[in-house]
């Protein structure tokens, strides 16, 4: 089986043999953290297990370390999670959410990418699955834990160093937040409004069409190139508010054939955890 590594459509997912795919429901609401689990219990893709952004895909106990609102889970914790889920080498992983991949699905895709595991995001997410009339399962599937999993993050894809960001050595920052937050017009979540000096803006919502599907790869490539100019993809570092929706831009670039960009995981919430760091407002 040829593994999908960026996006998968509804029909392709429905055709996969259940024993060969790990499906993860990542629906999550920032304003109601329990809402995703509630929605999952009411109906999900058959065989899917549930992942919470706060509990499974982040380690909130590390927020005080200056790593942002959604610090990455430690490697041991993420490995143990995959073991509980029943992941095994060579298995296709598919993540979906109710936001076109923009919340936790792209985050899980990127975490798996960090460990070298092929994964894909369901294009159109939960809405596309139900609109296609595909079957829905309620309750939770029987657990199928695998043997112990022990994985390491590829540090070359990850940037945690605020100093490297400050001195410009990290590369061209690309901020995935909406334009009003980037400009500093408003800031509903973090200590200060604005953006890291020198960062460019590409709102993650621009990756999707009116139906919540990713735009065609050729269109995404043109749009990212218009923002980044001659900057090589390998010199692009994505950020957002807490390192979650930035993964959507990274996924979109990979889908568009713009390979090799990285993530500044602490993102804006990590940057402004130190009041001495500079803040820019307006357009760059």
Q: Which residues are catalytic?
A: 240
Other Cβ atoms less than 10 A from the Cβ of 65: the count is 13
Output the six-digit token pair for 242: 């807490």
Residues sharing a CB contact under 8 Å with residue 12, sequence separation 6 or more, in sequence order? 4
Least Cα distance to 186 among 245, 275, 263, 268 occurs for 268
The pair phi, psi for residue 6, each rounded to 5°, is -135, -75
Output the six-digit token pair for 119: 């994964």
């Amino acid at each position: 089986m040829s593994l999908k590594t960026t996006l998968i459509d509804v029909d392709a997912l429905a055709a996969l043999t259940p024993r060969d795919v790990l499906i993860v429901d990542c629906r999550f609401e920032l304003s109601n953290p329990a809402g995703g689990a509630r929605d999952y219990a009411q109906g999900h893709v058959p065989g899917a297990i549930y992942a919470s952004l706060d509990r499974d895909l982040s380690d909130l106990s590390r927020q005080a370390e200056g790593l942002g609102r959604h610090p990455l889970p430690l490697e041991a914790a993420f490995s143990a999670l995959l073991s509980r889920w029943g992941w095994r080498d060579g298995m296709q992983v598919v993540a979906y959410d109710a936001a076109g991949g923009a919340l936790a699905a792209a985050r899980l895709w990127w975490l798996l990418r960090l460990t070298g595991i092929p994964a894909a995001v369901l294009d159109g997410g939960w809405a596309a699955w139900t609109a296609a009339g595909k079957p829905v399962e309620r309750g939770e599937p029987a657990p199928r834990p695998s043997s112990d999993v022990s994985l390491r993050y590829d540090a070359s894809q990850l940037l945690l160093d605020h100093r490297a960001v400050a001195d410009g050595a990290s590369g061209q920052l690309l901020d995935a937040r909406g334009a009003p937050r980037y400009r500093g017009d408003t800031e509903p979540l973090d200590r200060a409004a604005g953006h890291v000096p020198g960062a460019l803006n590409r709102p993650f919502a621009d990756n999707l069409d009116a139906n919540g599907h990713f735009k065609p790869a050729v269109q995404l490539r043109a749009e990212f190139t218009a923002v980044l100019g001659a900057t090589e993809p390998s010199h692009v570092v994505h950020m957002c508010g807490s390192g979650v929706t930035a993964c959507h831009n990274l996924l979109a670039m990979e889908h568009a054939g713009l390979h090799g960009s990285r993530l500044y995981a602490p993102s804006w919430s990590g940057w402004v955890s130190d009041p001495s760091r500079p803040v820019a407002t307006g357009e760059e």
